[in-house]
Each structure stands twice: as C-alpha cells, then as structure tokens.
Structure 1
Amino acid sequence: MRDFSDYILDQGLFDLPLAGGTCTWSLRIDPLVWYRIDRFLVSPDWEAWFPMVSQKRLPRLYSDHFLILLNCVNISRGKRPFKFENMWLKADGFEAGFEDMDEEVFGSVERNKRKLFDELQAFDSIESSRALVEEEILKKTEIVNEIEF
C-alpha cells in the first residue's frame, strides 16, 4: 500500500472533489460505517485537456458501493435516441402499438427517473448520518423497485 501511495505522489496524481456525497462505501451495520474508497485520480496534464472534469457520486441501488460518474465535458447530444421503457409493458393496449404511448400516458420518463434518483440520493444522505427507520427503509425499497422496473 505504501508503494502505491508513493507512486501516486511521484506521478503528481490527485483526487478530484466528489459531488453528491463524501463517502463511496458503507458497511450496513449499526452504527453505520462509511469510507471513501472509490475515486478517480488524474494528473495535472490530463486535467488541462479536460478542464471541466468532475466526479459525482450517484445513488446506489443494492450494492454497498456508490457508483461514481466521471464527467469530462458538457456534450450536446442533439436529438434524444429512442429508449424502450419496461413500464410500457404494463399499459393497457400496448400490444396494439406503442408509437402513441408518449408523455401523455407516462409523463416525462427522464424527469420521473431523475425525481426517483433524487429521492434515493436523499435517503443515502440521511443514511450517512444515521440508520434509516423502518418507514424510510420501506420507502427506499419502493423507490429502488420503481427504478429497476
């Protein structure tokens, strides 16, 4: 481990600030144990090529690790590609054709997903300071199930 730390120092690598939380792993026991063990290390030269680089902790679904998103640039993607949504399978008349099933039927899928992930992240923030109570655990489980399907 010492050799690895020395290598990081010798190469001038550094850890980017982490948005969205301070820790990336937790042991789900009482009391909760939280550590930051996942990270991106970059060099000053690399950061010069990608000056807008950032890392963000994403909400976790089932793992004891949080995903980390490395964002290098703001890219305009143009027209949004088609994505099949599993929830369409639950809608009456799906077999007749799904071309007409749009925001009028399901609402903004991306906006709804973002809302669910924001709610999940709020529970992760609460859990970083204390254990969730039973009602919160049930609500978090509902959110995870909604995201998964």
Structure 2
Amino acid sequence: MMGKFRKLLNDLELKELYLNGMRYTWSNEWEQATLERLDCVFSAVDWEVIFPASLLSALSSATSDHCPLLLNLEARLPMGRRFRFEAFWPKAEVTLLLRWFD
C-alpha cells in the first residue's frame, strides 16, 4: 500500500509542505514517549504558486495525542537585520563589540 501511495504522490507531482514548529505530530504520552510524524500536508506546484506565503505549523494540544496542524495561507514572517560575521570581531575588545550591537 505504501508503494501505491508513493506512486500516486509522484504521478500527481505532489510534495510535502515543510512543517514549522514541532518535529513530531503524535506521541503516546508515556514517560519514555514514542514520538512519530504521522500527520502531513501535500501540495501541488500550482497551489504553491497561488499561495507562495503559506506556512504550515504544528500546534500543541492538551486534549489529543495528535498535534493539530495550522495552514496559514498568508504568513508574513518578519525579516530582521541579517547577521554578518566581521573578520575584526575575534580581535576586537569587548566594549567595542557591545557598541556594535547597540
């Protein structure tokens, strides 16, 4: 059955959306928990063109052993100042570095 499922995904040219947040979507909730990724979302290339700013997130749940998935079609991620390593930093004094980040 898994082979048929994979063939269908390939035939339809579907790909799995990246899951932000939690790595696993199911837990048996024991002390030594078994964690699995059971839930996922697939999309077509055309769908990604229509919704390029989509974001799939896993939420926490107190009432289920599955994490609900939230698909935001218009996610706007804040873009901060980009980090760039400067060659002088390893040689600079600490006070100079603190002024750089203020």
Asked if these proteins are the same fold (TM beyond 0.5), I'd say yes
Give the structure with the higher percent strand: 2
Q: Are 1:19 and 2:35 matched, yes or no?
A: no
Rg (Cα) greater in structure: 2
Structure 1 partner of 2:33 = 32
User: For residues 18 and 74 of structure 1, do their structure 2 counterparts lie closer, same or farther at Cα, with a shift above 3 Å needed?
Assistant: closer
Taking the TM superposition and a 5 Å limit, the aligned residue runs for 1:84-103 are none
Q: Which runs of 5+ in 2 are unaligned?
A: 77-102
Identity, % of aligned positions: 32
Structure 2 partner of 1:67 = 68
Question: What is the count of residue pairs matched by the alignment?
Answer: 75
Structure 2 partner of 1:50 = 51
Root-mean-square deviation (CA, aligned residues, Å) is 1.6
Report the CA distance between 1:19 and its aligned residue: 1.0
**In structure 2, how many angstroms separate the alpha carbons of the residues matched to 1:58 and 1:28?**
16
Q: Which runs of 5+ in 1 are unaligned?
A: 76-149
The answer as to whether partners of 2:13 and 2:45 remain within 8 angstroms in 1 is yes
Q: TM-score, normalised by structure 1?
A: 0.47
Listed one character per residue, the Cα deviations across residues 20-79 of structure 1 (whole Å, up to 9, x for unaligned) are 11110011224211111111100111100000111000111120000000111159xxxx
Structure 1 partner of 2:85 = none
**SS at 2:27's partner residue?**
strand
